[in-house]
Amino acid sequence: MSDRKEQILDVAEELLQTRSFSAFSYQDVSDRIGISKATIHHHFPSKDDLSLALVTRHHMSLVSALETITKEHSDSWKQLEAYIQLVSQIMQSGHKICLTGSLQAEFATISNSTKQELANLCTCIHAWLTRLLIEGRKQQVMTFPGNPEDQASLIQAALQGALQQARAHGPKQFTTVVRQIKAILKTS
Amino acid sequence: MSDRKEQILDVAEELLQTRSFSAFSYQDVSDRIGISKATIHHHFPSKDDLSLALVTRHHMSLVSALETITKEHSDSWKQLEAYIQLVSQIMQSGHKICLTGSLQAEFATISNSTKQELANLCTCIHAWLTRLLIEGRKQQVMTFPGNPEDQASLIQAALQGALQQARAHGPKQFTTVVRQIKAILKTS
DNA sequence: GTCTATAGTACGATAGAC
DNA sequence: GTCTATCGTACTATAGAC
């Protein structure tokens, strides 16, 4: 993908995670880059195209990041810590929330293809967390009730919600939820 | 409050929880009720007024609902079940998400007074859940690591996130998270 | 690939009649 | 309290020159 396209997606992603999809415009993007609205439309004709590209790129980027984590840490706890660090950085860089939460909140207003890609992205995260929990349980370093899929769903939902709660109650709210997730995996 | 005002808030709340605050307009509200835009503006001059009224009314309504639960059930588990039922109904009535999640997702775009009221509302829910968990632990029917405040934060974040995840993965995703929350309180 | 200019629409909000 | 009409602005999107 061209540098310009990447640059547009960078800015659009930032706006999506700070202001929401409906609440940012082509004008916002063009202003921040210093190009015209028409140029954005040249690269992404409609806002539906833009949303789809945002989800698709984020999906690929995340797959890459998760693969890196899996390769760099054989220990399940280290992997979880690294993932949490990834999510934590979302909040730390300007009170952002995760892309999935932002778009799910406006699910009724996005195109069908974007909905489908968003679902794929969520499935991807869930599968990775599930695999991590299966490993952690197998290595007997993580304990939790029920099956790994369900525990993965809980962690995924909790981290997403915690990023949003942090906007109303500050970053401490997020670290609190993280601490509790870890405590459960240690003691339950 | 007048019936008309309540009616407007009913419709606006529905739209907020299905489409998000930026993605619904005075026109949407007036169309659904069958009155003019100007009438909406008469009752709520600006959209900031509307958002503030939405949060304030929701806060009061929730306080009332939580008090009812507390009065009707002395058992902590019954109280939790009743609260979860309350949240579950949000999803069941048209794939809605909770009001707090919807507005937190657009936190950067709402007025300061609405932000403050939203924070108060979140604090209220958190306090009620905390009290429930303190009771549950005291009665030795619920177990969890750490302190009740943290566990309340986890549950609050997880339920909020689960409502959103349900949009991408269906209602089963929400019930899964609920089941896991319960399992943790039973076994951990 | 980028621009200026603009179409066409929708938005929040207000004025003034009834 | 509700209406019609309208203002001024912002939006998505396109046309056409360079």
Q: Best interface-test mutation with A: which of B28, B176, B182 has the largest number of A CBs within 10 A?
A: B176
Separation of alpha carbons B12 and A113, rounded Å: 27
Position B187 scores a pLDDT of 66
Q: How many angstroms separate the CA atoms of A118 and A123, rounded?
A: 9
pLDDT tens digit sequence for B123-164: 999 999 999 999 999 999 999 999 999 999 999 999 999 999
Amino acid B21 reads F
pLDDT digits 0-9 by tens, B1-14: 899 999 999 999 99
C-alpha dihedral, A183 to B148 to B184 to A99, nearest 10°: -70
CA distance to partner chain B, nearest, from residue A2 (Å): 30
What is the rounded average pLDDT of the residues A138-150? 97
The per-residue b/e assignment along B153-179, b for 16 or more CB within 10 angstroms, e otherwise, is bbbbbbbbbbbbbbbbbeeebbbbbbe
Q: What is the CATH number of domain A3-185?
A: 1.10.357.10
Query: pLDDT, tens digit, for every residue of B92-132?
Result: 999 999 999 999 999 999 999 999 999 999 999 999 999 99
Specify whether the CB–CB gap between A101 and A91 falls below 8 A.
no
**pLDDT value at B188 more than 50:** no
Q: Which residues contact A69 (CB under 8 A, 6 or more apart)?
A: A79, A82, A83, A86
Q: List the one residue out of A97, A20, A169, A23 whose CA is nearest residue B47.
A: A23
Using CB atoms, pick whichever of B119, B154, B169 lies closest to residue A177: B154
The arithmetic mean of pLDDT across residues A21-47, rounded, is 98
Contact B104 A20 (CB under 8 A): no
The count of other CB atoms within 10 Å of the CB of residue A93 is 11
DSSP H or E stretch at residue B49: helix B47-72
* Domain parsing of chain B, residue ranges: 3-185
What's the Å distance between residue A47 CA and nucleotide D14 C1'? Answer: 14
Residues 107-166 of B with CB under 7 A from strand C: none
Percent of chain A with pLDDT over 70: 99
Given pLDDT bands bounded at 50, 70 and 90, which one contains residue A187? low
Q: How many CB atoms lie within 10 A of CB B117?
A: 21
A45 CB-to-strand D distance under 7 Å: yes
Q: What is this structure's pTM?
A: 0.98
Cβ neighbours of A8 (radius 10 Å): 26
Residue A154 and residue B181: Cα distance in Å, rounded? 8
Within 13 Å, how many C-alpha atoms sit on residue B64's CB side? 6
Contacts of A131-140 with C-beta under 8 Å, sequence gap 24+, read A132/A76, A132/A79, A132/A80, A132/A83, A133/A76, A135/A76, A135/A79, A136/A76, A136/A77, A136/A80, A136/A185, A139/A76
First to last CA, chain A: 46
Asked whether residue B45, judged by its CB, lies under 7 Å from any atom of the DNA or RNA strand C, the reply is: yes
